[in-house]
Amino acid sequence: MSFLRLESLTKRYGTANAVEDLSLDIAQGEFVSLLGPSGCGKTTTLQMIAGFVEPTRGRILMNGDDITARKPNQRGIGIVFQSYALFPHMTVAENVRFGLEMRQVPVDECHRRVAEALELVRLDHLDDRYPRELSGGQRQRVALARALVIKPPLLLLDEPLSNLDAKLRENMQIELRAIQQQVGTTTLMVTHDQSEALSLSDRVVVMNQGRVVQVDDPFNAYERPNDTFVSSFVGKTNLLAGDIGSVQDGNASITLGDYTLEMPFAGDLHSNRIQLSIRPEKLELTDSDNGHLQGKVRTRLFLGNHWLYQIDSSAGELLVTLPNLGPTDFTVGDEVGVRWQPGAVRILEEQAHG
């Protein structure tokens, strides 16, 4: 049984649909991310759940209760904003205690729950500090403690890590997921960061132009995208055009540049032209006479944990990433072969959603 249910949720501003007919079920204790580019409707969806924006149509049910018309302070939802929204004149402990005081929780219980929340986020030693005396990661954890101390049935996270630098963001992803699993609070996060959504979530809801285009676990959202939009937005990919020569016994013969490959094909053939996706890390560089495709190295970049190659091939431009196992054998101007393992190439829907 779903804990949070969105039924045909729609929000219109004039003639424009910010969110259109969004239906989603989230289980108790699940961590779900709304992922998409700016303007896709993810933040509007979060604001409707929080009660800050009134839906044009549809219902929001939490634990079976219809909360669509309830005011924000009647929903009991914990929220962590992108800006953290801490009170600068209050200490860490006072910021965390604020929600309990508004709910008139007894003083002794307030002290106990604040101490527990600060210990959970490992800030119990900084309870008398002010926000200006904290790092970005520490302020983020104070905001998280303040949201969790009221023991909300649902936690909403609005781009919670976007103000942090790359290294701190990565560390906070690990901490945030560990805390959520320890507490078990049902969590919905809004983000445009693909790696953040993939690393934190039980399921990812990919949105574009106000609509949900794929709901999946992180692995399948990355490895088995529904269409060209999901394929290109959820991580880097090579989108290539192929030509179907024939389809027989569920297999298609597809020409890709100067190479012909055989692939399972169960769709309807509306055109001989088809869109293919190959992730850069699924490709290998070989000697020029050993590849599926022939190409030439245009660019080589060293990115620390991997090398990024840009290859001009008969099928078009290809991005190839190779793990950093030491100096590479290929440099700019080299003639190379490009290979891939069976199953690395995926056929996509012809039309992208964006």
Q: Report the pLDDT value the prediction gives residue 67, as an integer from 0 to 100.
A: 97
Can you tell me the distance from the alpha carbon of 121 to that of 191, in angstroms, rounded to the nearest whole number? Answer: 21
Sequence letter at residue 176: L
Q: What is the pLDDT of residues 153-191, one digit of tens each?
A: 999 999 988 877 877 888 888 888 989 999 999 999 999
- Whole-angstrom distance, CA of residue 87 vs CA of residue 110: 18
The helix/strand/coil state of 30 is: coil
What is the rounded CA–CA span in Å between residue 159 and residue 96?
Answer: 20
Q: Name the band, by pLDDT with cuts 50, 70 and 90, for residue 270.
A: low
Given a cut of 80, is residue 202 above it in pLDDT?
Answer: yes
Per-domain residue ranges of the chain? 2-232, 233-348
Q: Give the CATH fold of the 2-232 domain.
A: Rossmann fold (3.40.50)
Distance of alpha carbon 241 from alpha carbon 257, whole angstroms? 9
Tokens of 311: 């290859």
Question: What pLDDT digit, counting tens, does each position of 86-106 carry?
Answer: 999 999 999 999 999 989 999
pLDDT recorded at residue 353 = 37
According to DSSP, the β-strands at 16-27 and 2-13 are antiparallel
Using the structure block, give the residue that is written with the tokens 């006479």: 289
Predicted confidence (pLDDT) at residue 71 exceeds the cutoff of 90: yes
Q: What's domain 233-348's architecture?
A: Beta Barrel (2.40)
Q: What is the pLDDT of residue 350?
A: 52
Structure pTM?
0.88
Asked if pLDDT for residue 352 goes beyond 60, the answer is no
Q: Report strand pairing: 238-248 vs 273-278.
A: antiparallel
What 8-state DSSP symbol labels residue 94?
Answer: H
**Are the beta carbons of 191 and 111 closer than 8 angstroms?**
no
What pLDDT, in 10s, does the model give residues 226-241?
Answer: 889 999 999 899 999 9
What is the model's pLDDT at position 246?
A: 82
